[in-house]
């Protein structure tokens, strides 16, 4: 596909985007920006985005994407509940231990196989393996995000990196560009959380050394 043809598709995509899609995308970006700063607002904004996307994807028969956003909704509610138990203060960020890494990889691996079989057996998807991988790695990343594990950014960006060419292949340039933005924001989010993690660890280190 030439650059000119891609640009024409992008303009057409912009013109055809419904107000509900714009609202969902704006709240999705806000959720990632708030997650980068470890702010509780990431959950309500994420919930608004995912609820709208569930309806949109179901309407256009993108059932796998609707399922993924349903998972985002559940994990956002779960994460919000965990946060409120801390009386509204920012809960601490941690690195994943071995057990949590195993669970995260099992979510990604089993989810990939499960979604691939569903897409291949019950849908007319022409990219079941690719589509399943994007969703499964996002499932795993969202689980780690809900538990405030810094590695969530790694898995979410593996999903984003795989999703960008997928959306280009499907001639969805607007969604591809949005995913590029989310990929960049997630990189900054990882380093922001890394800085916060060092800040949290500093008092403990000084106590141990005293």
Tell me which residue range forms the domain holding 82. 3-205
Task: Provide the 10 A C-beta neighbour count for residue 160.
Answer: 24
pLDDT at position 100:
95
Q: What is the pLDDT of residue 210?
A: 35
Does residue 98 fall inside a structural domain?
yes
Residue 176 token pair: 């591809």
Indicate whether 210 belongs to any domain.
no
Is 178 a member of any domain?
yes
Residue 140's pLDDT is 94
pLDDT in tens, the chain (210 residues): 566 776 776 677 677 777 887 888 889 888 878 877 778 888 999 999 899 988 877 776 767 777 888 987 988 898 888 888 765 455 688 999 999 999 999 999 999 999 999 989 998 888 889 889 999 999 899 899 888 899 999 999 999 999 888 777 776 666 777 788 889 988 988 998 888 888 877 654 443 343
- How many domains does the chain fold into? 1
Q: Judge contact between 178 and 25, C-beta under 8 A.
A: yes
Q: Hey, is 91 helix, strand or coil?
A: coil
């Amino acid at each position: 596909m030439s650059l000119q043809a891609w640009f024409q598709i992008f303009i057409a995509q912009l013109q055809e985007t419904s107000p509900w899609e714009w609202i969902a995308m704006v709240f999705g970006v806000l959720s990632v920006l708030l997650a980068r700063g470890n702010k509780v607002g990431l959950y309500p904004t994420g919930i608004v985005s995912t609820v709208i996307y569930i309806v949109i994807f179901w309407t256009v028969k993108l059932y796998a994407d609707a399922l993924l956003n349903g998972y985002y909704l559940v994990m956002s509610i779960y994460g919000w509940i965990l946060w409120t138990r801390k009386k509204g203060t920012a809960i601490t960020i941690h690195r994943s231990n071995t057990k949590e890494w195993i669970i995260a990889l099992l979510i990604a691996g089993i989810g990939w196989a499960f979604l691939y079989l569903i897409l291949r057996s019950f849908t007319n998807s022409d990219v079941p393996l690719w589509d399943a991988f994007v969703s499964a790695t996002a499932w795993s990343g969202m689980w780690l995000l809900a538990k405030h594990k810094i590695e969530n950014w790694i898995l979410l960006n593996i999903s984003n990196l795989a999703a960008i060419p997928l959306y280009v292949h499907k001639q969805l340039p607007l969604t591809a560009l949005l995913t590029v933005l989310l990929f960049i924001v997630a990189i900054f989010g990882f380093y922001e959380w890394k800085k916060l993690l060092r800040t949290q660890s500093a008092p403990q280190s000084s106590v141990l050394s005293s």
